[in-house]
Structure 1
Amino acid sequence: MTFRISGLSPEPFRALFGLPDQALAALGVKRYQVDSDPGFPDRIELKDAQIGQSVLLLNHVCQPADTPYRASHAIFVREGATQVYDAVGQVPEAMRIRLLSLRAYADSGMMIDADVVAGTEIEAVIARIFADPQVSYIHVHHAKRGCYAARIDRV
């Protein structure tokens, strides 16, 4: 099964880049200076930010469907990130090194399957989930903190 993993578009976050901390706080956003690597996985480029870089912690609606599975959670975006991760059949290192929760959705936005997997073994779970023709897409979350990581689509 061929799959595509994609990060978030930077467009919704660009207006936040460079804002003073007080302005960010008024919007419910917190800036961090990266002090460990790994530790601050960016959701645009799907890689851990490097020590010394700046990331924004904010709430993101990852599942906007009008179903009981509508969801939002905290994510990090690296300030200045512009290159959306978009790769077929490749898993980014930021996902490989983490325990992941895969959540499979139908076109309607209803969750129809889920599993937890080590990032090193994700391909087998993607193949198993996409074997069900009802599955339209998969959301990947970091299992320990529950944060949205990326979207997986069939190719």
Structure 2
Amino acid sequence: MPRITALPTDQVRAYQSGAPDAYGTPPERATSTGTGNPCRHCLRNIPAGAEMLILAHRPFDEVQPYAETGPIFLCATQCERHQDTGTLPEVLTTSPDYLIKGYGMENRIVYGTGTIIPAESLMETASSIFVKPEIAYIHIRSSRNNCYQARLDRDA
């Protein structure tokens, strides 16, 4: 089964310390409503009333035509990075469906892999995409707002 990969801790700690986001601005601080505010590091919903960060994130190292940038939420205080246990983390169980897309080694979308799928079919569908040898990883995004959720990597 594919492995769910959350944002790296060093990157998140930098944002939590005020490092600029993908647009060069410091993360905004807000209060979580408790729903619809998934942290991309611990992959849990940020509890109602807790402080959170809102920032522009580009899950690619370089700017290029396929390097989508969009808003994400993070816990404002330090949280533990999600460790894949083989079950879906909380943030991937709160929507009825998700958008997934496969990417090649050059960080370009592999056409024909993008699909909106029911949450319960996420891992099975991702496994079928990973059958293609040109797929390096898969992004999971919100099917309604296109916000980046997490990355899927081949199981080691």
TM-score bucket of the superposed structures, by smaller chain:
0.7 to 0.9
Displacement, 1:40? 0.5
* 81, 87, 104: which one aligns with 1:106: 104
1:86 and 2:83 aligned:
yes
Given residue 16 of structure 2, which amino acid in structure 1 is its aligned partner?
F
CA RMSD of aligned residues (A): 2.3
More strand by share: 1
Q: Distance in 2 between matches of 1:15 and 1:124?
A: 34
Q: Distance in 2 between matches of 1:92 and 1:121?
A: 14
Q: Distance in 2 between matches of 1:105 and 1:62?
A: 12
Q: Distance in 2 between matches of 1:83 and 1:106?
A: 29
Q: Is the alpha carbon distance of 1:83 and 1:136 closer, same or farther for their aligned partners in structure 2, counting shifts above 3 Å?
A: same
Q: Is the 8 A contact 2:29 2:76 kept in 1?
A: no
- Match of 2:27? 29
Given residue 104 of structure 2, which amino acid in structure 1 is its aligned partner?
A
- How many pairs were matched up? 149
Displacement, 1:17? 3.2
Q: Distance in 2 between matches of 1:114 and 1:73?
A: 18
Q: Is the 8 A contact 2:102 2:135 kept in 1?
A: yes
Given residue 128 of structure 1, which amino acid in structure 2 is its aligned partner?
S
Identity over aligned pairs, percent: 23
State TM-score, norm by structure 1.
Answer: 0.85
- Match of 2:136? 136
State TM-score, norm by structure 2.
Answer: 0.84
Displacement, 1:15? 4.3
Secondary structure class of the residue paired with 1:62 = coil
Q: Distance in 2 between matches of 1:65 and 1:118?
A: 31
Secondary structure class of the residue paired with 1:86 = coil
Displacement, 1:66? 5.4
Q: Distance in 2 between matches of 1:16 and 1:104?
A: 27
Give 5+ residue unaligned stretches, structure 1. none
Secondary structure class of the residue paired with 1:111 = coil
Q: Is the 8 A contact 2:16 2:78 kept in 1?
A: no
Bigger drift between 92-101 and 53-62 goes to: 92-101
CA deviation profile, 1:106-128 (whole Å, cap 9, x unmatched): 11112112111122221221121
Secondary structure class of the residue paired with 2:59 = strand
Q: Is the 8 A contact 1:96 1:118 kept in 2?
A: no
Given residue 2 of structure 2, which amino acid in structure 1 is its aligned partner?
F
- Match of 2:4? 5
Q: Is the 8 A contact 1:6 1:84 kept in 2?
A: no
Secondary structure class of the residue paired with 2:11 = helix
Q: Distance in 2 between matches of 1:33 and 1:97?
A: 19
